[in-house]
Structure 1
Amino acid sequence: MGTSHAKRLFNREIEGAILAAVCDVREDRMVKAREEFGDRVKRFLTIDEFFADADIDGVIIATPHYDHPTLAIRSFEKGWHVLCEKPAGVYTKNVRLMNEAAAKSGKVFSMMFNQRTNPLYQKMRELIQSGELGEIKRTNWIITDWYRAQSYYDSGGWRATWEGEGGGVMLNQSPHQLDLWQWITGMMPTRIRSFCGFGKYHDIEVEDDVTAYVEYENGATGLFVTSTGEAPGTNRFEVAGDRGKLVIENGDLTFWRLRQSEREFNQTFKGGFGEPESWKIDIPVRGKNEQHLGILENWVDAILNGTELLAPGEEGIKSLAISNGVYLSSWLDDWVELPIDEDLYYEKLQEKIATSTFSKDTKKDVTLDVSGTH
């Protein structure tokens, strides 16, 4: 993703921003950067040199997950604006420190939650937040349409390990959906019970299959199902309320709208068998899904013009809190309350790292072409 963002900036696709410097600890990537960008873009092989000599206003962090908070904090201390790739980090304990550093700096901090630019999800959020759906009763998201072959996991020594990546499908592929889940509904779970398959479909030590059940403060329930081992996959998001049901699937938003609140019908209907009248409405959705370009433009506009952020960086902790809760529940084989015990989570994660017997070529790194994957 770092390569993709750098190319967009270099090609001047984002008005008001230019690519001034890149940093990568891999020499082959710096050779590639010189071939593509020439000497107009400064190149740094070490983080310390980058922070000492890069003449920039803002930084995009697109590194393995553990480094996100550390690099963001150093950037804020330098007085730089920050756009961070998902996830915000691996565990919420140090992401809180990142958020505190952002607040102290007063700089513009955004997360690369590019799915927030999708008009489908924006419209669904609008319908829910406006009260059109009524009180939420249930949420279901099955998102299994990002199949990954073993070669994907073999492409980097850090991938799919507790020490290098900190998790699997919940931390790598699912952050966008976890973010949308809470952003669209406006609700965070209060407790979670999850079941994870670790290395179920691949030769990896982290999870590639998850089923998580959640409960909300208002009594609503939710289900999140995800995997990188199913083909063909499914992407269906369903939210049921007392005024009907919203479904996003196959690029369409459908509203089964009740003429009468289900709760009201339940109390007043005297006919025994029967249900509220329902209208199937194909919701018109207008606008273009700008994805990464949209978030990049929004971040730059916020820096230059004070535009409101679509994906404030401080909100990155919310999706991470859900994934941390999923892991902890699976590790403990029990329910966990949110917010989780952050010290316990960190302790259990360190145990996973310390007791790992998984062997992988940690020197192997291949830069994959992400075009067509999002």
Structure 2
Amino acid sequence: METLRFGVVGIGNMGSAHAVQLFEGRVKGAKLAAVCDCRRERLEWAGERLGRVPRYEDYETLLDSGEVDAVLIATPHKLHPVIAGEAFRRRLHVLTEKPAGIDTASVAAMNRQAEESGAVFGIMYNQRTNRLFRQIHDLVQEGALGEIKRFVWIVNNWYRTQAYYDSGDWRATWNGEGGGVLLNQCPHNLDIWQWIMGMPVRLRAFCREGHYHRIQVEDDATIYAEYENGASAVFITSTGEYPGTNRMEISGTLGKAVAENGCLKLYLLERDEREICYASREGMPQEKVNCCTMEEEEPGGGHLEILQNFTDAVLQGAELIAPGQEGIWGLTIGNAAYLSAWKDDWVELPFDDREFRLLLGRKQESEEAMEREVRHEELSGEYSERWSVRW
């Protein structure tokens, strides 16, 4: 195979941008071969913007067309595992938008289908391409900060207005979207958290629903988590604070790392704090701290880098930046946070996904339709700044 033929399923705000990049040849070795959407106006837009690219109203017809080698899924969240499973059954490669799904049980099933198919499976975790996050990931993995004690991330600059939530009747609902800020805006952040730190063993969460907006899902969340080695993590997010903050701080026995405003600052000790604690004869010693600053010269390739990497993985066997199977880990933290908030209690990881699906089902069944003046956003076909890392 010399050229990877993509079919984009779902050409809303995100899918239309992916489709345009592929159509305009911005991904080497890839081409846009087909698009699919259930909304007629979007297909009309595709006819005007994407030339003679075949258009489908039904994704299974696209999958059976023989015109695509891979599908890029950019539909409402709960459909990601469904469409991916059908694609894997046909031995097609899959690149899915985040989140992997709305519950870990369906995502685990999708992961099994991917493995059985032998196809390449990726997820659009574009923030893994951010240079600062990659530096922090490498520092922690290499042990430069020693044994980690605490991880704190305040990322509440995901501000959204009521108009944003009113732009689609599926948005900010348990039935349509499957959750709020933790499932829509923060899958990237939850992924970066676990990518750097690994998975906690238990957590306690507080999720406030409709706190800042006329919605029924959470727009404000705080998670406190604990790790097997005794380390802790605090994650704070919302879509109702302006201006917001994006500040990550990681403390270890050899120092700390702070990322904020596009800058990574390291404060490194010359000996381990545990040694200082038990070997020093002073009650409050003044240890030497070496400081250095790393500025973000380039933010990373974002969505295009993930698209190129996925294409290279299929055509050349390149290692994936964001394997699709890893989508379950950030979702596990998010699902566990919901479960903790609903039960008002601690949740051990891994949790009982049957209990989660039962309680989610109750939320969906009791959800009342909200009166909205739905204003669909116009498709631009370009990547928006709101999908990038904003400091």
The aligned counterpart of 2:133 is 121
Q: Is the Cα–Cα contact under 8 Å of residues 249 and 258 in structure 2 kept in the other structure?
A: yes
CA 362–159 in structure 1, closer or farther in 2 if over 3 Å, else same: farther
The aligned counterpart of 2:158 is 146
The alignment status of 1:290 with 2:276, answered yes or no, reads no
CA drift at 1:88:
0.3
The aligned counterpart of 1:64 is 76
The 1-side partners of 2:246 and 2:295 are apart by: 19
Q: Is the Cα–Cα contact under 8 Å of residues 141 and 235 in structure 1 kept in the other structure?
A: yes
Give CA deviations for 1:103-156 in whole Å, capped at 9, x if unaligned: 001011001000111111111111111111101000000001110000000000
Paired residues in the alignment total 372
The alignment status of 1:23 with 2:36, answered yes or no, reads yes
**What TM-score, normalized by structure 2, do the two folds share?**
0.92
| Counterpart pick for 2:367 among 356, 359, 368 | 356
CA drift at 1:264:
0.5
The aligned counterpart of 2:274 is 263
CA 285–37 in structure 1, closer or farther in 2 if over 3 Å, else same: closer
The 2-side partners of 1:273 and 1:134 are apart by: 21
The 2-side partners of 1:285 and 1:32 are apart by: 37
The 2-side partners of 1:106 and 1:16 are apart by: 21
CA drift at 1:271:
1.4
Counterpart of 1:46 in structure 2: which amino acid? D
The 2-side partners of 1:334 and 1:133 are apart by: 32
**What TM-score, normalized by structure 1, do the two folds share?**
0.97
The alignment status of 1:12 with 2:25, answered yes or no, reads yes
The aligned counterpart of 1:326 is 337
Q: Is the Cα–Cα contact under 8 Å of residues 111 and 316 in structure 1 kept in the other structure?
A: yes
The alignment status of 1:80 with 2:92, answered yes or no, reads yes
The alignment status of 1:55 with 2:67, answered yes or no, reads yes
CA drift at 1:359:
1.8
The 1-side partners of 2:369 and 2:285 are apart by: 57
The alignment status of 1:342 with 2:345, answered yes or no, reads no
Q: Is the Cα–Cα contact under 8 Å of residues 24 and 45 in structure 1 kept in the other structure?
A: yes
The aligned counterpart of 1:161 is 173
Aligned residues with identical type, % of pairs: 49
The alignment status of 1:131 with 2:176, answered yes or no, reads no
The alignment status of 1:189 with 2:200, answered yes or no, reads yes
CA drift at 1:364:
6.3
The aligned counterpart of 2:259 is 248
The aligned counterpart of 2:188 is 176
Structure 2 counterparts to residues 214-253 of structure 1, below 5 A: 214-253=225-264
The alignment status of 1:204 with 2:215, answered yes or no, reads yes
Structure 2 residues without counterparts, runs of 5 or longer: 1-13
Q: Is the Cα–Cα contact under 8 Å of residues 193 and 334 in structure 1 kept in the other structure?
A: yes
Give CA deviations for 1:166-207 in whole Å, capped at 9, x if unaligned: 00000000011110111112x201101011110000000000
Q: Is the Cα–Cα contact under 8 Å of residues 157 and 364 in structure 1 kept in the other structure?
A: no
Q: Is the Cα–Cα contact under 8 Å of residues 260 and 277 in structure 1 kept in the other structure?
A: no
The 2-side partners of 1:368 and 1:30 are apart by: 11
Secondary structure class of the residue paired with 1:60? strand
CA 343–49 in structure 1, closer or farther in 2 if over 3 Å, else same: same
Secondary structure class of the residue paired with 1:19? strand
Counterpart of 1:188 in structure 2: which amino acid? M
CA drift at 1:51:
2.4
Secondary structure class of the residue paired with 2:241? coil
The 2-side partners of 1:27 and 1:200 are apart by: 35
Give CA deviations for 1:39-84 in whole Å, capped at 9, x if unaligned: 1x10001223222325100010001000000000001111110000
CA 3–280 in structure 1, closer or farther in 2 if over 3 Å, else same: same
Q: Is the Cα–Cα contact under 8 Å of residues 158 and 239 in structure 2 kept in the other structure?
A: yes
CA drift at 1:273:
2.0
